[in-house]
Structure 1
Amino acid sequence: MPFSLTANNVATQAKIIGVLITIIWMLEIVDQLLLQHRLNRLGIVPRTQIGLRGILFAPLLHGTWNHLIANTLPFAVLGWFTLLHGVTEFTVATAVIWLVSGLGIWLFAAPNTIHIGASGIIFGYFGFLLSRSYFEQELFSATVSVVVALLYGPLIWGVLPSRRRGISWQGHLFGFVGGILTARYLPELRQLFELLAIT
């Protein structure tokens, strides 16, 4: 069921998004002002054992202030639209997108590169929100999909291969794929997460 837009629910949604954005910004402040970008070494390094840790850390790290600022608003907006479906589904979508995007980068990105940034998560939310109405055939999801397409439709070009320096199109592509997979298998994934939470 969709998350209703009561004052309490909106406050909860704002708190969740706010906490995530605060964590990302605080990490960047510490990294740039105190650590001289050393945290960026925790990004994904394709097909290396040490680079696997980046799957966990990469979405929390950014290379520059401009990089962080560019990701903050779409993360907040698309994250909030995803939260409208409920906290559990937001958690499931974020976890699956995080993993699929990171693994896609690790497996297919160019060697000897470091990949950081929340754009894989952003593209994952985008894919989830666009495709959910197709799998669900429900008015609320269809309305959200239309609004998201109107606001962020041009994002779709970001999944195409690019030679632009500093653009991890693999993260965009596999984040988008992770979002679609989440929308397709959401009932099963939700049951799995609930089972894991119980155990």
Structure 2
Amino acid sequence: MNQENQFKISKSIFTIPVVYVVVIWFVYWLEIQFDYNFNKYGVYPRTLEGFRGVFLTHFIHSNTSHLFNNSIPLFVLLSSLMYFYKDVAYKVLFFGGFFTGFLTWCIARESYHIGASGIVYLLFSFILFSGIIKKHYRLVALSLIIIFLYGSMIWYVLPIKEGMSWEGHLSGFLSGFLFAFIYRKKGIIKKEYQFKETEFDLLFDENGNFNPPVLEEESENLEE
């Protein structure tokens, strides 16, 4: 693979993560610039109006700290998804994002739920469980790195911090596990090596007994 092709692959891997992060920062900038609050466009459980948040919640954040805390893991996890799972990356992102928002709409408390945290937990869970299910050394290594960097995230699927949408985190985590199972045969799969029969193998029968080949001259003598 030449350098030009490598550059194209690298560019395609980082395009979606960069665009996503830029969009969520731009949405927050619009709120600040025009003194507008988008929180009411988040998920509000079990109401028709609140259902629009299933599609919009992942782009809305309450403050710069909330936004910054989501931006770095979003970029890392999205880049990993685009590299290792380019065949199903968009399906995981869009369908997984919808399912995460929908599950939040079904189970969450009556409040507005906003933020890209659901997507972060979706990707975290998908890559983690996919690496374990596939038993692929590179994916397992990536999973271990993710656990090392974001391992404390696991606890936030439980109601341990006031004002945090643990329901959104839990929804993303469960969605990631579901999609890891659905796409267990997609992405990088550990190859099973199949050994081809060689001339050396033909010297032995199925019981392992030595069976030398009969040469043409010998066969002529046998016929005589």
TM-score band w.r.t. shorter chain? 0.7 to 0.9
Within-5 A mapping of 1:25-174: 25-37=25-37, 39-111=38-110, 113-165=111-163, 167-174=164-171
Instruction: Give the count of matched residue pairs.
Output: 183
Which structure has the highest helix share of the two?
1
Q: Under a length normalisation based on structure 2, what TM-score does the superposition of the two structures give?
A: 0.76
Higher mean alpha-carbon deviation, 52-61 vs 27-36, is at 27-36
Contact 1:44 1:52 in 2 (8 A): yes
Amino acid at match of 1:169: W
Shift in Å at residue 189 of structure 1? 9.0
How far apart, CA to CA, are the structure 2 residues paired with 1:163 and 1:132?
A: 28
Amino acid at match of 1:186: Y
Superposed structure 1 runs of 4+ greater than 3 Å apart: 187-190
Partner residue, 2:202: none
Shift in Å at residue 26 of structure 1? 0.8
Structure 1 stretches of 5 or more lacking a match?
A: 191-199
How far apart, CA to CA, are the structure 2 residues paired with 1:32 and 1:135?
A: 44
Shift in Å at residue 139 of structure 1? 2.1
Q: Relative to 1, partners in 2 of residues 1:188 and 1:140: Cα closer, same or farther, differing over 3 Å?
A: closer
Cα RMSD (Å) of the superposition?
A: 2.0
Amino acid at match of 2:148: L
Say which one has the larger Rg: 2
Q: Relative to 1, partners in 2 of residues 1:104 and 1:189: Cα closer, same or farther, differing over 3 Å?
A: farther
Shift in Å at residue 138 of structure 1? 1.8
Q: Under a length normalisation based on structure 1, what TM-score does the superposition of the two structures give?
A: 0.85
Contact 1:100 1:178 in 2 (8 A): yes
Higher mean alpha-carbon deviation, 76-85 vs 167-176, is at 76-85
How far apart, CA to CA, are the structure 1 residues paired with 2:161 and 2:45?
A: 17
Task: Map Cα deviations across residues 92-136 of structure 1 (whole Å, 9 max, x no partner).
Answer: 21123212221121111112x101100000011110111002221
How far apart, CA to CA, are the structure 2 residues paired with 1:88 and 1:117?
A: 26
Structure 2 stretches of 5 or more lacking a match?
A: 188-224
How far apart, CA to CA, are the structure 1 residues paired with 2:138 and 2:165?
A: 32
Partner residue, 2:21: 21
Shift in Å at residue 73 of structure 1? 0.6
Contact 1:182 1:189 in 2 (8 A): no
Task: Map Cα deviations across residues 132-153 of structure 1 (whole Å, 9 max, x no partner).
Answer: 0222122222121122112111
Shift in Å at residue 7 of structure 1? 2.8
